[in-house]
Structure 1
């Protein structure tokens, strides 16, 4: 292979050879004794000077022939990389750098080719995107509803011409502008919070009512979340129509219907009193009254069918209402079991807020309760307060209160649209309750799941009563005056001694015989191990759901602080307490609270022959179950079971914790004997 003398290496090699020859000659002369000391000193100085000169010469050669060439070539490469018109560098200008220029030209050629392919790909993709965008725009503009797409900062990223025409007279509409310049913030953020909290509700879009920012237009809207493949929400889509003409027409018909009903009522009464033939008059009057009622009921059904409604969990509704009183002097307490309602959450939340404010102002209240219930006929929500004051005299005025964010619609209109039944007041246990009828949830939430899953094995453990035997004054207090923390756990399996761990703790507080469902504890726990599929089918908690959650070492002290020194209650408590107590030493905790087990109480109250699973007890007591096999859902249901059991205990003369422990001791001893035989 011929030697390439164009690089700096040959020059440096020759300089090095010359230096070696000079040093060799000097060594030879020294060996022959030809030079004296002075000549040797001069020779050494000349050698040093020659070495320095050789270094300088070598550096200059490298700098001139290599470094400067590299800098010039780098400048040319940068120019080409940043879009210059040249397609290569001149290799002949860099003879000492061969074969680097040729390699660089090959890379530049590949880069230019990739740049051309990328430009062609971008052009094609842009063309397809524009084509799809035009198609989407054509589809959106062909819709009769206004469509607005927003990010989570509520900035508009897409809208159609219908939305533009609908909202342009209210405020500026444009890409990047805030939706709240044209639509009231409250309704949108409320619905976004609902769908974020209950993602299963937004699969087909959830309807709601909103008003324009200037209050002149009422919008019938529907919201859907935009989600990534991982399920994270990145924005939302709102479709809307102007409902103001429909509402105005319905309001006029509503007023006309009331006028007809009220105008006929007095003549009918006078007719009954003054007629000569009371039998015929009574019959005809009843016929007229029945006809009016049929018209009223039919109209109300038609009106309710128009109203945008969806299934709503009462706990979510009450949480939204309670949030509106965070800065108020009125404390709103959520009590009782949750139920599923069929309602428009936004308008109903505004209505309940208006009712609570008027009730609290009327009776000078500092605290108001919210509860929900259902039976075979329907469901209802209740507003409660201490005392036995009569709400009837002021009720008509409360119902006539206008709701300005709903276009001036009245409280009565919203309640009529939801159920239309009569509002009644009840007095129970020293409290007044105003019952607002609702419609039951249409979907059967969780029922198929509950029916398909078996229950946990039953663990009867008399040691649970040990902590309750020596509790002093608390043991002699009435059961209803005690504070209970009713809790439940979900776990990776049924074997704590074999490494199974807690994945969720849920709890609710009972104070003075009331379930304070608004004062709850609900934490998902990272168990530090894989969750088996056979456990996931029970509680639905997956490895992805726990990967970013805190470990038990964080959650367990939080639960202990929540429980404080209250009486702990669980169903099949031996199972749940085993998981708590096996971690006491590791985290420096002590769960020495008094404990009651609703399964043991059920065995005592109803006998060992009946079923004592939570589902069997709820079926016996007529307690509706929602959110079964979630820790908080099961805890709330267990709390309702406990209150029923306290009623049954009191009917037997058992009113204190000491008495309960004594009776359970004897009952469980008998139970163990029966099992032995």
Structure 2
């Protein structure tokens, strides 16, 4: 390979030659005289001095001509990497480092080509995205409906000009802002829950009504969910239309219907009364009146069918009414949940207005809201314990009042009517004081229960030592049973063997106070069990691994449930099963569930005898208690609460009035129950 006489090589060669010459000259000078120790020492010193000089010269040459050049080159390479369109280095400026500059220039050339190709690709993609965005904007802005797209955290990511014009006067729309700055929260959240529970996943979307936060507008809306690749909720799309024109049209038609009915029915009644001695005329007037009532009832059914209704749980609806009323007047949601079919937002507004109307008319300050169902009839009941009842005239007057929040429609337009107008709203007085109002509601068109064959009951758990009473009854032991607060609870689990690693996936409870089930103050949580949920368990409770993915573990939820239970007697069906899981989950922590516990299964054995069925289904069938959402923690807790109230009445009939008396009676019942199981 040919030596290039450039760079540091000539300098190093010259230093080496000078050092060698100095050593040779010193050696020749010393060789001319006799060789002594001093002459050898001098020669050594000369050689060392020459080597040191050579090292210093070499270091300076390399630092000046190589290292500094490399640092300068590194600076230029960085400038090329982060700078503009500079093609590369000048090889002549770094001749001593050749061929390194040429290699760097090759890299720079490839980098520039890649950058050019990337810029071209980005420009093409940007043009396509802009074209698509312009097309989408043109499509969205050409729609007659307002469109908003939100994340799962309800933050706006897109809206069209129609939505801006529609909602702009309510709040300043802006990307990243919460939808609930503009629209009421409850209808949106309830619709998301409804779509999330739909096996179709909300692909078709569902209609609903929603109002703006200040009540300026009532909007017809339709929601569809946006799901990520794994099926998780990524966001949702809502289309919006001002409902005022349609409501005004409906209100006008309803007013015309009332005018026609009032203008014809009253004269017919007067004719029938005046011609009571003419049977044929009276019969004709009666038939005409019946036909008119059928027509009015049919019109009311058609009017009620306009509302975008769906199946909903009564406790959700009544809890929204309670939240809107806040504390004036005070409202408590009581009783078992019932599946209804209604448009929740408009019915919530109507119920809120009715409670305020009754409070103003009667002076009552506290109300109980509940729902019920009997065969094909369902209703919502408002009850107040003190004060006068509501006269039927006042009830009818309210039904015919126009509600501003519903665009001038009356509350009567929301309510279903029977074939001939029967089964309408009713009101009355309680013998003990106070009164009640009952509004008919259409029952759910689906039962709310899961489809498929009936599931077997949970096997009986026999660690009855967990139920030994008294479990520190304290002052509660001598109090009447009906004066105690109870928390009826239930759990759903990954399996039936806590000692083999099965864990809780859901826990729920409901309080009973003064003999009332406070269904609006229930506790319900889904728990991450820390292990996969077997398919055979999912078949029972419907909770999948995807549903618990983002849920808190038991160590977070159980302290919250312990605070909810505080001061109350715990109740469960087959309670030993649930207590064993609580014991396993709280092992090693400061959380303890060591208060008194009642078991409705043991109570059933004590009250109804060993030959009666003691599963929850059998007891509910015996007492005529409807089951809603069976094999869910909250649904089973509600049913068990209703069972407990029946059993408390039965205990009172047997002279068992206090918790300590119940403990002594149930101790014997547990022993007999265990013997029967063994035999």
* TM-score (structure 1 length as normaliser): 0.84
Q: How do 1:139-178 residues align onto structure 2 when only pairs under 5 Å count?
A: 140=140, 145-150=145-150, 155=156, 157-159=158-160, 167=166, 176=175
Cα deviation code 1:161-181 (max 9, x no counterpart)? x667x739968998749798x
Q: Distance in 2 between matches of 1:9 and 1:456?
A: 92
Match of residue 443 from structure 1: 446
Displacement of 1:574 after TM fit? 1.1
CA contact (8 A) 1:373 1:381 kept: yes
Match of residue 345 from structure 1: 344
SS in 2 for 1:336: coil
Q: Which runs of no fewer than 5 residues in structure 1 stay unpaired? A: none
1:568 aligns with 2:573: no
Q: Distance in 1 between matches of 2:494 and 2:212?
A: 49
CA contact (8 A) 1:170 1:213 kept: no
Displacement of 1:577 after TM fit? 0.9
Q: Which runs of no fewer than 5 residues in structure 2 stay unpaired? A: none
Q: Distance in 2 between matches of 1:228 and 1:572?
A: 41
Q: How do 1:385-404 residues align onto structure 2 when only pairs under 5 Å count?
A: 385-387=384-386, 389-392=388-391, 394-399=394-399, 403-404=403-404
Match of residue 586 from structure 1: 588
CA contact (8 A) 1:89 1:105 kept: yes
Q: Quickly say closer, same or farther: Cα 1:494–1:150, change in 2 above 3 A.
A: closer
Cα deviation code 1:227-269 (max 9, x no counterpart)? 4335555543222334333322221221121122223343233
CA contact (8 A) 2:15 2:54 kept: no
Q: Distance in 2 between matches of 1:19 and 1:430?
A: 123
Q: Quickly say closer, same or farther: Cα 1:114–1:638, change in 2 above 3 A.
A: farther
Match of residue 467 from structure 1: 469
CA RMSD of aligned residues (A): 4.1
Cα deviation code 1:43-62 (max 9, x no counterpart)? 79x97899489547634542
1:608 aligns with 2:610: yes
1:200 aligns with 2:197: yes
Q: Distance in 1 between matches of 2:418 and 2:273?
A: 36
Q: Distance in 2 between matches of 1:3 and 1:452?
A: 94
Q: Distance in 2 between matches of 1:665 and 1:406?
A: 58
1:532 aligns with 2:534: yes
Displacement of 1:546 after TM fit? 3.9
CA contact (8 A) 1:460 1:600 kept: no
1:125 aligns with 2:125: yes
CA contact (8 A) 1:488 1:634 kept: yes
SS in 2 for 1:111: helix
CA contact (8 A) 2:399 2:411 kept: yes
* TM-score (structure 2 length as normaliser): 0.84
Displacement of 1:305 after TM fit? 1.8
Q: How do 1:241-640 residues align onto structure 2 when only pairs under 5 Å count?
A: 241-326=241-326, 328-387=327-386, 389-392=388-391, 394-399=394-399, 403-415=403-415, 422-425=424-427, 427=430, 432-448=435-451, 451-460=453-462, 462-463=464-465, 465-468=467-470, 471=473, 474-582=476-584, 586-640=588-642
SS in 1 for 2:197: helix
Displacement of 1:206 after TM fit? 3.0
Q: Quickly say closer, same or farther: Cα 1:381–1:598, change in 2 above 3 A.
A: same
Match of residue 108 from structure 1: 108
Q: Quickly say closer, same or farther: Cα 1:485–1:47, change in 2 above 3 A.
A: same
Q: Distance in 1 between matches of 2:331 and 2:531?
A: 40
Q: Distance in 1 between matches of 2:173 and 2:558?
A: 50
Cα deviation code 1:186-235 (max 9, x no counterpart)? 44x33322234442364432322346799786532212333433555554
Stretch of structure 1 that moved more, 385-394 or 407-416? 407-416
Displacement of 1:294 after TM fit? 1.4
SS in 2 for 1:592: coil
Cα deviation code 1:603-652 (max 9, x no counterpart)? 33444334332233334434333333322222122112222332344445
CA contact (8 A) 2:156 2:177 kept: yes
Displacement of 1:73 after TM fit? 5.4
Cα deviation code 1:583-615 (max 9, x no counterpart)? 555113443322211122233344433433223
Displacement of 1:135 after TM fit? 5.2
